[in-house]
Chain A
């Protein structure tokens, strides 16, 4: 807080103390009404009828662990995904209030957390501080440190949940987890058994079809196979003419889980995809991946897991003669054990080899091809200071990459759970964004803009979080953060070389995230969230080009979302999702105009009849057209969907 500039938005220390005072007062009230006092001696005297009349309330295991986590975690459940009517992974991420999600064009998205949604270059956001994983497979590209969202698809029906961590998260997560982590977890094959067929037609999503079959051999081996295809329409320019960015994607995949015993479980899964998309030209994309994991449990106090994957992703822009073929080979080992119930220790090592082959004319990356190695390791100890109440987590990540060498990323987190309904946590962590090929190898018009010794961008993050379950039907989570960044990328104007990248700015960001889940009635649930973000950049050299700050972060100050899920009589469902984002500043460097603030909402009407489900979904209903990140206008749209499961 000391580093916070005068009069900034960050709530004052008095204010925070006042909030603490509030929760103390209420803690006393809680302890008086504790109904946990019935002893075993009393209980066993009671008749069955009497036992059946004792009121209890239980929070599930999963929500429990979420509740006590000392990090800003938001979990999007499979049910919330299904009921949102959203069709692609990036769209679904709008359900996490701690993410900033903006659709750039028909197939590209700008997604980040706590700011740094970089300027759009060839329509892709330069957001480069997020770690994104699908079932343990990291999907950000070393080309620019961001994510090609168009090729990150999964069968929506088979998503179990999505964990979203804003902030550096923890020492357990891998490289690039600076501003946030998105972990997409698909269902275990045991939970996706049987036949599922689904089809849709609509105005923006022209058509969609999916089929999945899950089966088993014996009691311990389960599998599923799936295939899906979709076609999306163009977005619009401001004069309502088509921007030629329609796209289609076909993807198939499988997963097998072999539950040999309590001791050993094995998973093997893979996907392959291909598609076409317009920008000004037609891109062709395809890719394949396969992942295997072995989990071995020695006892309830120790286990390890071993994971390996191979991922190939390829894209070609024929007219501009650019193509990229990235092959990733990754190996991870993780060991976990308890010492005396007080120490919960996890350590792991990982090795990743990335082979990036670029064919470009004119040259954009020099050298064209690059092999990159990443060694990483981590160790973390979760220490119980006061059983059930106070936990301290200390740990660090180690990393060695080809560009900036050895990086240390330690963190310390503390969680205080005064009672089962409240958690207060705080964390200080250091995180590093290691350089990408964009930072080092970029060439424009024959000028080498990339900086050969580009330094890593460093961050120290301070977080304070609070969660409360005031009643059985309500949960609230709030996090305040203050981040200090060093060696942030700049574009410098030098007399000798012209434009070059450098590490010549510092930044501070601060803000807070609030989310609320409210079960209004058995048939009606609400989720809502609000995020506030502000930042301040400081340049360290007179060579820094004006606009270098906006180039790194085109972010809204205020952002709001809500989701309403209603079960109506006669098996009808009525669902809404709405979101608001504040004005985005213009970027001088990329000549992108400012994007006005917008609000929009989606509505879904569903009806279930035996094995059938019919739904009608309207999206972006508020306005005929609205831009979310730059120029292109996202149209109001509608689609109808029919699903059958057996």
Chain B
């Protein structure tokens, strides 16, 4: 008997239309409000690469880290490389003073070699504190987009504010690594203190 009842209900045509309307109305509302564009991950990393290129220009390393005036500035990416070709394209044929910029990639901390700038990929979110500890006080500019990278002693950390990419500088950490940054960079950055 109950089966019959269910069948009778499901055959009412007015309900079929009610159901269709229930899907259609929200769909229409949604499709007409689509005026927003989502930024691709690639675009975000193009932007981050441009930032990295800028940072290098505003940082001064101790002379001891360069063999001579023409030796390169080594920018290392640690962890899963989120940039792909973007970073290479950004620094292609660029020089800071007489120093060309070369990119090196290291998957694991144990493989890490000498470098001037170290970008820590967000694949290292679990281990970045350990990475920072192990290179502490070396003249390496550390940069990352990992949350809390700055307050745990990273030099420069990216963060989002009102849909814009900003950066924070940990001054104390910079001092420990014997790097000098220009006052312009400091003026634009959010200054944070370590824990």
Contacts and interface: CB of A to CB of B under 8 A. Distances in A.
Q: Is this pair of chains taken from one and the same complex?
A: yes
Interface of A: 5, 7-9, 11-12, 15, 19, 22-23, 25-26, 29-30, 33-36, 38-41, 43-44, 46-49, 51-59, 190, 219-220, 259, 261-262, 300, 420-421, 468-472, 474, 476, 478, 512, 514, 516, 530, 532, 534-537, 546-547, 549-550, 585-586
B23 A512 contact: yes
Nearest to B57: A48
A472 B90 CA distance: 29
Contact of B188 (A49, A55, A58, A471): A49
A379 B160 CA distance: 40
Contacts of B36: 57, 470-472
Contacts of B39: 35-36, 55-58
Contact of B43 (A30, A56, A530, A534): A56
B165 interface: yes
A575 B174 CA distance: 44
Contact of B10 (A7, A421, A470): A7
Contact of A478 (B19, B23, B46): B23
Nearest to A259: B126
Given A43-B46, A48-B185, A57-B163, A470 B126 contact: no
A478 B31 CA distance: 14
B23 A43 contact: no
A469 B42 CA distance: 19
B3 to A, nearest CB: 6
Nearest to B83: A40
A259 B27 contact: no
Nearest to B55: A48
B7 interface: yes
19 contacts: A7-B13, A9-B15, A19-B24, A19-B27, A26-B31, A36-B39, A48-B51, A49-B188, A51-B47, A51-B50, A54-B165, A55-B164, A57-B36, A219-B129, A469-B38, A476-B26, A532-B22, A534-B10, A537-B3
B54 to A, nearest CB: 5
Contacts of B89: 40-41
Interface of B: 1-3, 6-7, 10-11, 13, 15-16, 19-20, 22-24, 26-28, 30-31, 33-44, 46-47, 49-51, 53-54, 80, 86, 89-90, 94, 107-108, 126-127, 129-130, 133, 160, 163-166, 184-185, 188
A368 B128 CA distance: 55
A35 B37 CA distance: 7
Contacts of A476: 26, 30
A36 B43 contact: yes
Shortest Cβ-Cβ A-B pairs, 8 listed:
A43-B50, A471-B36, A56-B39, A470-B34, A36-B43, A40-B89, A470-B30, A420-B38
B163 A474 contact: no
B49 A40 contact: yes
Given A29-B34, A44-B90, A530-B22, A53 B10 contact: no
Contact of A39 (B3, B7, B46, B185): B46
A25 B11 CA distance: 33
A469 B36 CA distance: 9
Helix, strand, loop or mixed for chain B's interface? helix
Contact of A471 (B10, B11, B33): B33
Nearest to B23: A11
A56 B34 contact: no
Contacts of B41: 58
Given A19-B23, A22-B31, A56-B164, A259 B127 contact: yes
Given A7-B13, A58-B39, A478-B23, A51 B54 contact: yes
B130 A33 contact: no
Contacts, number: 165
A331 B183 CA distance: 59
Nearest to B125: A190
A22 B20 CA distance: 15
B38 A536 contact: no
A471 B34 CA distance: 6
B37 A11 contact: no
Q: Which residue, of B6, B20, B34, has the highest number of chain A Cβ atoms within 10 A?
A: B34
Nearest to A530: B22
B3 A549 contact: yes
A9 B22 CA distance: 12
Nearest to B43: A36
A10 to B, nearest CB: 9
Contacts of B47: 38, 43, 51, 54, 56
Q: Which residue, of A25, A56, A476, has the highest number of chain B Cβ atoms within 10 A?
A: A56
B62 to A, nearest CB: 24
A49 B108 CA distance: 34
Contacts of A470: 30-31, 33-34, 36
Contact of B2 (A11, A49, A516, A549): A549
Contacts of A48: 51, 54, 184-185, 188
A34 B33 CA distance: 16
A26 B164 contact: no
Nearest to B163: A55
A171 B167 CA distance: 43
A593 to B, nearest CB: 13
A420 B40 contact: yes
A547 B3 CA distance: 9
A190 B126 contact: yes
A472 B38 contact: yes
B49 A43 contact: yes
A300 B50 contact: no
B77 to A, nearest CB: 14
Q: Which residue, of B31, B33, B107, B130, has the highest number of chain A Cβ atoms within 10 A?
A: B31
B33 A516 contact: no
A8 B16 CA distance: 7
A39 B94 CA distance: 16
Q: Which residue, of B39, B40, B160, B185, has the highest number of chain A Cβ atoms within 10 A?
A: B39
